[in-house]
Amino acid sequence: MSQNSRQFHLNAFLMGVGHHEAAWRHPRTEAHRVLDVAHFQELGRIAERGKLDSVFFADGLAVGPRVKHNALAVFEPVTLLSAIAVATEKVGLIATASTSYSDPYNLARKFTSLDHISGGRAGWNIVTSAGADEAANFGVDGIPAHRGRYERAEEFVDVTLALWDSWEDGAVVLDEESGVFADPDRVHTIDHAGERFRVKGPLNAPRSAQGRPLLVQAGSSESGKEFAATHAEAVFTAQRTLAEGQQFYRDLKTRVVAHGRSADDVKVLPGIVPFIADTKEEAEELERSFTDLISPEYSLRQLSLMLGVDLTEHSLDAPLPPLPPVDQIEGNKSRYQLVKDLAEEGRTVRELIGLLGGGRGHRTFAGTPEQIADELQTWFEQGAADGFNIMPPYLPGGLDDFVDRVVPILQERGLFRTEYTADRLRGHYGLGDPGNRFTEELARDVSA
C-alpha cells in the first residue's frame, strides 16, 4: 500500500458511446444509445459505484465536420446533467459552457439550478469557443482573437461569481407565520458596469448548498494557464509524456501561488484514454480494433479543423506540410502545439490520425488493470498530476472496466477513497466553503 497521504481525484469525461472517434462503429457499443438519456444516467451510476469525484461533459456550438462519420454528442450538457442528477446521489456533475457565446446572467442561473437540483454537485468547465463554425452560428465572421476571448472570459467570470454571491447564505427565510420569504438585506444588486457587460442583479435564484459550482478550466496556452491560476479549482489538461506532465504541473502550481492562492487550491487532472484487457497484448489488439475503424475522410477534416489547414486532399502517407508557429494561431493554441510537436517527430498523416483517434491528443494507454494503475500512480507520485480525467474509449464497457478493475487496485494501494466522505462536489475535491463577498464585506464593516 502507498504511504502517500495524498489521494487521487478521478473525473470521468463522458462522450456519446465513447471517446474513440470510431466507437459508435465498434461491436462493443450500441450507436443508438447516443440519443438515449438512460444510457447517460447509467454512466453516472457506474461512476458513482466507483466513488469517482465527478462526471464531465464537453460541449460545442456547431456540427463541424463530423456529422457524416461520427455519432454526435447531441444533448446540451446542463440539461443532460439535470437528468443524471436525479439518477445519482453523490457523484459530481460538471458541464462545459462557453463565455464567448453566453450571457453571464443566464449561465449563472442555469448552473445554480443544476446545483440545487443535484444537492450541491455542479461544476462549470469554462471555455472560450475557438471554432470558426461556432462563430458563424452567432453572427461572427472568423475566429475571435485569442486575447479578446480571454479578456471577455475574465469579465464574464467576475460577473458570474458576483451573481452567485448576490444571495447570502440564510437569505431564504420561509417564515410562514410572518409571511417573509427572504431577507432583503441579504439579497444584493451587483451593479456591474464593465467593458463588455452591464448587469444589475441580483440573480433570480438563491445561493446553492455548496455556495457556488466548482470552477474547471481546460486551456493550456499562456492565456489559459494564467486564467486557470486566477480562477480554476480543477484543470483538465493534455500531456502525452511524464516529463511534459511534470513541466505543466510545476508551471501551473507556480502561477497559482503567484496569484496569492495555495497550490492545493487547484487540482491538475491530465486526460488518459485507457484500453484495458487481461494482457498487454490483448489491450493493444483492442486498441487496434478501434483504430482500424477510423474513417480517413472524417479524421482529415478533424485534423484540418484542429490545425486551421485544409488537409482533405493531403496524402495519408506523407508528413504534414510545414505549420506556422503557435503565436500565429487564434484557435486552440495548446492543442495546435501538441499536434505540431507530434508531426515534427516525422509521423505521416495516417500515423497522426491513428494517434489522435482515441482522445484528440490526450494520452492513450493500453494495458492490464495493474499496468494502468501503475502508470497513474507514477504520474501522481512524480509530480505530474493530482488525479486524472478518465476518457473511456467506448461506453459503457470502458467505464465499467475502469471502475471495476482499476479503481479497486488504487483503493488497495491507499490512493483512492473507498467511500465518499462528502456529499457535494467541492467536498470531493477537498475544497471548503468559497465564501460570499457581501457577507465578508459586512463582517469587515462590523469589525471596523
Q: What is the pLDDT of residues 260-273, one digit of tens each?
A: 999 999 999 999 99
The answer to whether residue 166 scores a pLDDT higher than 90 is: yes
In a domain, 176, yes or no: yes
Residues 262 and 328 in one domain: no
Q: State residue 44 phi and psi, 5-degree precision.
A: -60, -40
Question: Residue 289 falls within a domain, yes or no?
Answer: no
Is the residue at 3 inside a domain? no
pLDDT at 205: 96
Residue 296 has pLDDT above 80, yes or no: no
Mean pLDDT, residues 281-295: 89
Mean pLDDT of 55-62: 93
Higher-confidence residue of 286 and 440: namely 286
Task: Output the pLDDT for position 3.
Answer: 43
Give 191-205 pLDDT, tens digit per residue.
Answer: 999 999 999 999 999
Give the tens place of pLDDT for each residue, 234-282. 999 988 899 999 999 999 999 999 999 999 999 999 999 999 999 999 9
Give the model's pLDDT for residue 358.
59
Claim to verify: residue 431 and residue 300 sit in the same structural domain: no
Is residue 340 included in any domain, yes or no? yes
Residue 1 lies in a domain: no
* Residue (of 124, 169, 129, 167) closest to 148 by Cα position: 129
pLDDT tens-place string over residues 210-235 = 999 999 998 778 888 999 999 999 99
Q: What is the pLDDT of residue 335?
A: 62
Q: Are residues 243 and 176 in the same domain?
A: yes
Q: Any idea what the CATH number is for the domain that residue 203 is in?
A: 3.20.20.30
| pLDDT score at 348 | 76
Specify whether 160 is located in the same domain as 300.
no
DSSP H or E stretch at residue 61:
none
The predicted pLDDT at position 303 comes to 72
Is residue 208 within 8 Å of 218, Cβ to Cβ? no
- The DSSP string of 245-294 is HHHHHHHHHHHHHHTT--GGGSEEEEEEEEEE-SSHHHHHHHHHHHHTT-
Which of 335, 356, 377 terminates a domain? The answer is 356
Domain that holds residue 348: 295-356
Q: Are residues 214 and 334 in the same domain?
A: no
Same domain, 52 and 173: yes
**Residue 436: inside a domain:** yes
- What does the buried/exposed string (b/e) look like for 364-387 if buried means 16 or more CB atoms within 10 Å of the residue's CB? bbbbbbebbbebbbebbeeebbbb
% of the chain residues with pLDDT over 70: 87
Q: Which grid coordinates are listed for 127?
A: 471555455
DSSP, collapsed to helix, strand or coil, labels residue 391 as: coil
The string of pLDDT tens digits covering residues 311-337 is 777 777 777 777 767 665 655 556 667
pLDDT reported for residue 334: 60
pLDDT of residue 224: 87
Q: Which three cell numbers stand for residue 195?
A: 467593458
Write down the mean pLDDT value for the chain: 89
Give me the pLDDT at residue 183, please: 97
Give all strands (DSSP E) within 5-53, no chain letters. 9-13
For residue 104, tell me if it sits in a domain: yes
Of all residues in the chain, the percent with pLDDT exceeding 90 is 68
Answer yes or no: do 107 and 244 share one domain: yes
β-bridge partners, 95: 57, 124
- For the segment 160-164, the average pLDDT, to the nearest whole number, is 98
The predicted pLDDT at position 2 comes to 42
Looking at residue 356, what is its pLDDT? 66
The verdict on 240 and 341 lying in the same domain is no
If asked whether residues 234 and 325 sit together in one domain, one would say no
Q: What is the mean pLDDT of residues 174-193?
A: 97
Least confident of 65-69, 380-384, 427-431: 65-69
Structural domain count of the chain: 2
Does residue 117 lie in a domain region?
A: yes
What per-residue confidence (pLDDT) applies to 243?
Answer: 93
Cβ atoms within 10 Å of 314's Cβ, excluding its own: 16
| CB contact set of 436 (below 8 Å; sequence gap of 6+) | 165, 168, 169, 207, 211
Residues 141-169: what's their mean pLDDT?
92
Average pLDDT over residues 118-138: 91
Of 356, 377, 406, the one marking the end of a domain is 356
pLDDT at res. 355 = 65
Do residues 271 and 226 both lie within one domain?
yes
Boundary of a domain, candidates 356, 380, 400: 356
State whether 375 and 351 are in the same domain: no
pLDDT of residue 184: 97
Residues 371 and 342 in one domain: no
